Amino acid sequence: MRPLPGSRGTALALLAVGLSAARCLQSQGVSLFVPQPAINATVDEDVLLSVAYSCPGVPTVEWRVTSSWGVHKIVEWEPGSRANVSRSHRDRVCTFDNGSLQLLRVGVRDAGYYVVTVTEHRGGRQLGTVVLRVSELLHEDLHFVAVLLALLAAVAAVLTSLLWICNKCAYKVQSGRHKLQDSTAEEIELQEVEC
């Protein structure tokens, strides 16, 4: 007999419940909050990979990064004591007691997938992830520069045509005056001749 589609669905649901129960047991009292799971940064910026955990007792916090350069362990520490920073990130990171990690003056090569693991002493743990993108220059900046250049060009064009029109007008007025002066001079001459 073929299994009914309904019973298959129930089995899957049971499996899901079982898995989440196992996850709950595994995480025990640890919970982790990642307010910003995706960050866009520009080169030379300081970036805070912000997290906050809650857990009975003091856990161990560990950050790893997966980038185009492979997987690297960045730092491991127990909040309240000294952090063990890997050589690749020495002097380039700050750690905070809530588990957050700050990357100082990021470069394009810092872009990647950051995973934080909070492990309590009884073995419960929680994972959080932050995806970091690093760009050379924000597209908005380029857009702004393009708009500014277009605006300047328009202003220059308007000024040039205004100047051209003014020049024309001045020329016309001047030549008009010359004609006027010439005709009065002629009149005067004529008058003199008459006298």
The gap between the terminal CA atoms of the chain, to the nearest Å, is: 139
Q: Which of 95, 100, 117, 126 binds ligand NAG (CB under 6 A)?
A: 100
The Cα 177–Cα 183 span in angstroms is 10
| DSSP H/E element including 93 | strand 93-95
The Cα 113–Cα 66 span in angstroms is 5
Q: Which of 28, 52, 72, 129 binds ligand NAG (CB under 6 A)?
A: 52
The Cα 80–Cα 142 span in angstroms is 43
Q: Which of 42, 78, 94, 96 binds ligand NAG (CB under 6 A)?
A: 96
Give min distance, CB of 94 to ligand NAG, in A. 9
Give min distance, CB of 103 to ligand NAG, in A. 13
Q: Which is nearer to ligand NAG, 27 or 77 (CB)?
A: 77
Look-up of token digits 């690749």: 88
| Ranges within 6-45 binding ligand NAG (CB under 6 A) | 33, 35, 38, 40
The Cα 143–Cα 120 span in angstroms is 48
Q: Which is nearer to ligand NAG, 16 or 38 (CB)?
A: 38
Tell me how many degrees the CA angle 102-106-110 measures, rounded to the nearest 5.
95
Residues in contact with ligand NAG, shown as a per-residue x/- string from 53 to 82 under the rule CB under 6 A:
--------------------x---------
Interaction between residue 138 and ligand NAG (CB under 6 A): no
Q: Which is nearer to ligand NAG, 97 or 189 (CB)?
A: 97
Sign of CA dihedral 144, 147, 153, 158: negative
The residues binding ligand NAG (CB under 6 A) are 33, 35, 38, 40, 48, 50-52, 73, 84, 96, 98, 100, 133
